Amino acid sequence: MRIDPIHLHNQSNLINDYRYNKNKIIQFFDYQPFSDSRQRVEDLKERSFDREQLTTVLEKINKEWDAPESTFQNINRLKKEDSTVVIGGQQAGLMTGPMYSINKVISIIQLAKQKEEELKTPVIPVFWIAGEDHDFDEINHVYLPDVPKMKKYKLIQEVVQKSSVSDLKIDEIKSSQWLHSLFEDLTETEFTNDLYALVKGCLDQSATYVDFFARVIFQLFEEDGLVLIDSGHPLVRRMESGYFIQLIERQPEISKGVYRALKGLEEENYSIALDAEPDDAHLFYHHNGERVLLTRTEDGKWIGKQNEVIFTTDELIAIAKEQPELLSNNVVTRPLMQELLFPSLAFIGGPGEISYWSVLKPVFLAFQIKMPPVFPRLSFTYLTRNTEKALKKYDITTEHAINKGVSDIKNNWLMSKNEPSIDKIAEDIKQAIERAHQPLREIANEMRSDLGALAKKNLYYLHSNVDYLEDRIIKAMKEKYDKELYEFDLLNIALRPAEGLQERVWNPLPWLNEYGIDFIRRLAKETCSFENEHYAVYM
């Protein structure tokens, strides 16, 4: 395995400015990126955490997923007063979802190891599964390569309500059919049968898709001491009860602060994919099995977006005390809840997350704490031996293929085989025909108007015959170079599928099938600098 840094083009201005510590964006954070962690450790000493309750809950939840021994060892280390965590999270995608979820886990594990070596104190890798999210359509599919494009494999399970994924029970029959269809389209290798048995075992032991996600993750990262937490788990909600009360009490300060920060970022010409208004509650209430986003009225009432529910502040506080499982966080308050539960040395985020974290400083300030240092996650593009071989064959750099794809090179290559130019010859012939045909059209026009129209139609048919022959010749040429054109298409879907980064589309399954799960474990053990934008991983 070889790992080379790659420069990414066309990153957002916000991410570029953040990476390079530009003050116009850094002012919206409490720490500079990639800064020394010792100041953060000192800041954490000023706060207290209920480590006993936290570790008890983590032990119970991770035991439900048959976590490896390395996980429980790290949970035990979290009881130490000088221990901290590196944390990040994602939705519970099928088969882990797109590769950026795997890349984020690798990032958390690597940074935790690097910081433990730097500080000589326990640093625990923690992955926060956003089980409270309710959009099943975002996670109910995976893509596998099917040249010249990616093929979508969707798990067809009817979901009527907007219930949390943590509460969504797996349809055993449809999920098994879906898994079978995935493996049916894989090329059989020495790893296929064992991989299918492993994944099918994870599925059969899971009641929900969060369970399935967690079990697969533990199979891939068995030795790394990764600790998982499901934000939608009832035990976690009960642990959050007191914090929900504080969120409710401090809602005006939080909501107005986020709104002001968003406007401030807009003034700096940063585009943030987040809608925020001063009356947003930034909390969900679970009503009849569905998540209802709350807002705050001028008279202090808490209501659903469609008036599904209405509460006074006292009523909502009573719910937080007695039934906290009926409340959940949105994208604004979830980071705060992570910070209140865990002694976070650092948060790992993707480009989109760092973008919306830039509005969260007032949220943390409302609780008189600092937001943790935010590290951009490691970003990888994986290259198989065949992909690397094809790049060398056509003298294409990995950086070009990742940033721009190879469609332009493919077209230029095909044109180079088209000498003399078929389309140019065809155009010259049509012009020659038109010149030679001109006297006939003139005679026909002079005799009768209908003969003039017939002459024009005759010219059209002559041109069409040339076009037809041109198309057949080009088709034959493409057939002649079918193997080469296929290789270009393969490079495109391997390195820039759907005109974007590989990690946003590809699922790890094809590589697990080709190389076994060892390639992910090996990468987790590497040491990559978080200051590099992207890496090419040659497997």
pLDDT in tens, 434-474: 999 999 999 998 998 899 899 999 999 999 998 999 889 87
pLDDT in tens, 281-331: 999 999 988 899 999 999 999 999 889 999 999 999 999 999 999 999 999
Residues in contact with 460: Cβ distance below 8 Å, sequence separation at least 6, in sequence order: none
pLDDT of residue 106: 98
Contact present, 370 and 348 (Cβ < 8 Å): no
**Superfamily the domain 7-274+328-378 falls into:** HUPs (3.40.50.620)
Q: What is the dihedral of CA 101, 104, 105, 106, to 10 degrees?
A: 120
Pick the closest to residue 88 from 217, 222, 219 (CA basis). Answer: 217
pLDDT in tens, 13-62: 999 999 999 999 999 999 999 988 999 999 999 999 999 999 999 999 99
Q: Where does residue 100 rank: exposed (0-12), middle (13-18), buried (19+ CB within 10 A)?
A: buried
pLDDT of residue 289: 83
Q: How far apart are alpha carbons 191 and 208 in whole angstroms?
A: 26
Contact present, 265 and 13 (Cβ < 8 Å): no
Half-sphere exposure at residue 239, Cβ-oriented, CA atoms within 13 angstroms: 25
Q: Tell me the one-letter amino acid at 498.
A: A
Contact present, 436 and 458 (Cβ < 8 Å): no
Is-above-0.95 flag for pTM? no
pLDDT of residue 398: 97
Token pair listed for 103: 């890349």
Contact present, 155 and 94 (Cβ < 8 Å): yes
Token pair listed for 444: 């026909």
CA angle, 203 then 62 then 337, to 5°:
110
Segments of the chain scoring below 50 in pLDDT: none
Contact present, 372 and 335 (Cβ < 8 Å): no
Q: How far apart are alpha carbons 375 and 378 in whole angstroms?
A: 9
Q: Where does residue 191 rank: exposed (0-12), middle (13-18), buried (19+ CB within 10 A)?
A: middle
Strand pairing class (327-329; 344-349): unpaired
pLDDT of residue 28: 97
Contact present, 335 and 362 (Cβ < 8 Å): no
Q: What is the residue extent of each domain of the chain?
A: 7-274+328-378, 387-502
Pick the closest to residue 324 from 132, 529, 170 (CA basis). Answer: 132
